[in-house]
Amino acid sequence: MWVNHYLPEITQPEAERILWERGLVLIPTGSVEQHGPHLPCGTDALGALAVGRLVAPRVRGLLVPVGPIGVAPVHLGFAGTLSLKAETFMRLFRDVCLSLTRHGADKVVVLNWHEGNTPTLLTVAGELQAEGRARFLLIQVARLAGELSGRQERSSHGGAVDTLAMLAHDPALVHLDRAVNPSPPEAGTIGGLPPQGGAAYAPIADIRVVAPTGWSGDLAGVTAESGRALLEQVAEAVVKQVEAVFGV
Ligand SMILES: [Zn+2]
């Protein structure tokens, strides 16, 4: 029987029971930022949460919100983008983790859909782990989706992977007919990430340096059905990783 594991939607006794069963929590992290004219601004947050909803019951973990907003200064040139400073996000993430560890959570799985969050998440995870509060596993679910999609544009912003995830979440939020202005495909180093396999890292201040329209990608062939299949694959892969690190 499917049981809801999403903390904001369940009662305190239910949450406590899940927490005490195996001390495992899952925290989706994303962002609210421009994703071109065709995707919702909450794409990263909604994508991470969608994966979390699939995974949490299967690993018997408590699915916990940290809020939809992340660290996204490179997108602030576009109205509709929200960004926390790294220190704000670190405090938020730390406070949420500490609220959980005092009630038995000792295993924290972060499901991150937004690369801009990564340095801060790793810093806090490292600190809390060193303090002996909990063990951490950070899974880059957007990157995982890119790999599993088999598509070339693995690190694009607003491209096929983001679009497939949103089609899986709610097709009404996706407007493929408006996706008429992708930036050139070489906009692959979005967010200052090195190209696949690259060793050099050159942070950028504004997404428009690499993607003038804010997004790039090839949306040919994306459907809600293939989106749901992709998220299911991602969920399965996440379950395997969680089991490999924290046991069954
Ligand atoms: Zn993002």
Q: Output the CA 197–ligand 1 centroid distance in Å.
A: 20
Q: Which residues pair with 107 in a beta bridge?
A: 24, 135
- Give the Å distance between the CA of 71 and the centre of ligand 1: 9
Distance CA 35, CA 53 (A): 22
**Residue that is written with structure tokens 């949460």 in the block:** 49
Paired residues of 26 in beta bridges: 63, 109
pLDDT given at position 199: 73
Answer whether 99's CB lies under 8 Å from 25's CB: no
Q: How many CB atoms lie within 10 A of CB 202?
A: 11
pLDDT at 83: 98
pTM: 0.95
Output the CA torsion sign for 154, 158, 159, 165. positive
Q: What residues pack around ion ligand 1 (CB closer than 5 A)?
A: 31, 44, 114
34-74 pLDDT tens trace: 999 999 999 999 999 999 999 999 999 999 999 999 999 99
Q: Which two tokens stand for residue 187?
A: 């906009």
Distance 82 CA to ligand 1 centre (A): 11
Can you tell me the distance from the alpha carbon of 142 to that of 164, in angstroms, rounded to the nearest whole number?
A: 11
d(CA 31, ligand 1 centre) in Å = 6
167: how many CB neighbours lie within 10 A of its CB?
23
- Distance (Å) from CA 78 to ligand 1 centroid: 13
Token pair, residue 154, equals: 């693995």
- Domains, the chain, ranges and CATH? 7-243 (3.40.50.10310)
Are the CB atoms for 64 and 97 separated by under 8 Å? Answer: no
Cα 102 to averaged position of ligand 1 atoms, centre (Å):
31
pLDDT at 54: 98
Predicted confidence at residue 196, as pLDDT, reads 52
Residue 191's pLDDT is 47
Ligand 1 centroid–CA 15 distance in Å is: 29
Residue 142 · residue 50 · CB < 8 Å? no
Distance 171 CA to ligand 1 centre (A): 19
Q: For residue range 111-139, list pLDDT tens digits in order.
A: 999 999 999 999 999 999 999 999 999 99
- Give residue 97 CA to ligand 1 midpoint distance, Å: 22
Centre of ligand 1 from the C-alpha of residue 190, in Å? 9
Distance (Å, whole) CA 90 – CA 199: 26
Q: Is 115 exposed, middle or buried (0-12, 13-18, 19+ CB in 10 A)?
A: buried
How many A from CA of 173 to the centre of ligand 1? 17
Distance 113 CA to ligand 1 centre (A): 7
CA of 116 to the centre of ligand 1 (A): 7
- What's phi and psi for 27, nearest 5 deg? -120, 105
**Ligand 1 geometric centre to CA of 156 (Å):** 10
How far, in Å, is the centroid of ligand 1 from the Cα of 151? Answer: 18
**Rounded to whole angstroms, how far apart are CA atoms 49 and 53?**
6
Ligand 1 center to 144 CA (angstroms)? 14
Q: How far is the CA of 115 from the centre of ligand 1 (A)?
A: 6
Per-residue pLDDT of the chain (248 residues; tens, 9 = 90+): 778 999 999 999 999 999 999 999 999 999 999 999 999 999 999 999 999 999 999 999 999 999 999 999 999 999 999 999 999 999 999 999 999 999 999 999 999 999 999 999 999 999 999 999 999 999 999 999 999 999 876 568 999 999 999 999 999 999 999 999 999 876 555 544 555 556 777 788 999 988 899 999 999 999 999 999 999 999 999 999 999 999 98
